[in-house]
Amino acid sequence: MYFKATQVDTIYKEVYGEKTGTSSGDIGRLIKARDLGRSLMVSLKDRWPEEFHTISSAMGFENEYNLWFAQDIIWYSATRANDSILADKVRQFMENNPDWRESPHWALTQDQIDEAVALFQEKFSPEKLQQMSDEEILRWIPYREVTTNDGLSYLLEHSPVIGKMGGIGGGSAGKMGYYQGKDGNWKTLMNKVTTQEDVLNHRKIDIDVLTNMHRYIASDDFDGLQSYINGLEENTSEDGKYKSVVPGLVWVRKYFTVLFPDKFVELYGDGFVKKLENVADMGKINGDGKDPDYSLWYSQMSKIAKIAPQLNITNYELSRIIWDLVNEEQKEEKAMNEDATEQSEIISLNTIIYGPPGTGKTYSIQGYKDQLLA
């Protein structure tokens, strides 16, 4: 991850005194990296000549002072690229909790995960989905409330092993996009009744989308994946009405995490991911639906997953630790909010009650006394 020229320009102005209004966490990390790494800067031009030339040329760095700053940028980008602030927090968690692997929280073994993932991949890879008959598509793809344990959605959400590899949320089966209710009716994401033919046609489009996404992910082409997702607005069915929504669905994130268990961390829901942005200090992971870069989940989570081999832990273990880190921050934030609320509710001991006769001064004094003695 290297800074774009525009990002370098913004940070340069912020660090060296020209206010731009930027408040990115990258600024603080850059300053820290610069202060810690000055003694290493002399050799950077030789170690990363291509990156050095790209950044310095793009910015038009001419004097020695600016070249030093360019080297700072390169050092930061090259050595702090793997979201190391989050890595530091994970490492600290492991040091503070030496027996963390013994917790019931880590009930799955890697052998169990590997076996379950292999069976899932054999059964539900995009290649297998493409080969399914119409009957198989209706049986295996949509959530069928009338079945119990043999569907794609059931395995993702409830199976003994894969079901524990990160939750995709409860509530309506509509989160799968289409499903069949207990009454036999086929329904849409918004729980509107539709036809079996409609479900089948749309699911075939979705399978094509999953196949294309799989190709980008397999080759680690996340820029290409992002462009593809952004362009799906033009991907409609023959009737001109259907637009595949699968890239933004939580179950699809888990689907690809099971297909590529070392590429993504097992954290899927938008609410939790939003909280992770603060813990990781890595910038935006998800935007809103109007954001052209809404589905940054794939590229950002793939960066976080690279922490696992650095710390000699599994991706499953990394995901569980991050869960704990986010939950701990939530507890601290809640405690701070409760403390602030409590402080705001403290009754002053020096309250002066005034007003003309008959306005309730005596009644108010009694009320204050009751609160103070409570």
Q: Residue 186 belongs to what H/E stretch?
A: strand 186-188
- Predicted pLDDT at 265: 87
The burial of 261, by beta-carbon neighbours within 10 Å (0-12 exposed, 13-18 middle, 19 or more buried), is given as buried
pLDDT above 80: residue 345: no
- The total of structural domains in the chain comes to 2
Reported as a single tens digit per residue, the pLDDT across 210-236 is: 999 999 999 999 888 888 887 775 555
Q: How confident is the model at residue 148 (pLDDT cuts 50, 70, 90)?
A: low
| Residue 119 belongs to domain spanning | 106-329
Kindly state whether residues 124 and 71 are assigned to the same domain: no
Kindly state whether residues 217 and 75 are assigned to the same domain: no
Name the residue among 121, 104, 177 with its Cα closest to residue 144. Answer: 177
Q: What is the mean pLDDT of residues 28-48?
A: 47
Q: What amino acid is encoded at 344 in this protein? A: S
Q: What is the mean pLDDT of residues 230-248?
A: 63
Task: Say how far apart CA 85 and CA 90 lie, in whole Å.
Answer: 9
| 39 compared with 310, residue with greater pLDDT | 310
For helices 315-344 and 84-96, the axis angle rounded to 10 degrees is: 90
Answer with the one of 41, 66, 81 that is the final residue of a domain: 81
Kindly state whether residues 122 and 46 are assigned to the same domain: no
Kindly state whether residues 207 and 287 are assigned to the same domain: yes
CA distances in angstroms from 119 to 112, 137, 259, listed in the order given: 11, 18, 10
Q: What is the mean pLDDT of residues 315-333?
A: 81
Task: Say how far apart CA 86 and CA 281 lie, in whole Å.
Answer: 7
Let me know if residue 358 belongs to a domain. no
Kindly state whether residues 73 and 116 are assigned to the same domain: no
CB atoms within 10 A of CB 266: 22
Least confident segment among 13-27, 187-201, 317-331, 347-361: 13-27
Q: Which two tokens stand for residue 137?
A: 């598509």
Reported as a single tens digit per residue, the pLDDT across 78-93 is: 444 444 678 888 888 8
Kindly state whether residues 163 and 256 are assigned to the same domain: yes
Let me know if residue 355 belongs to a domain. no
Reported as a single tens digit per residue, the pLDDT across 247-278 is: 778 889 999 999 999 899 888 877 777 777 76
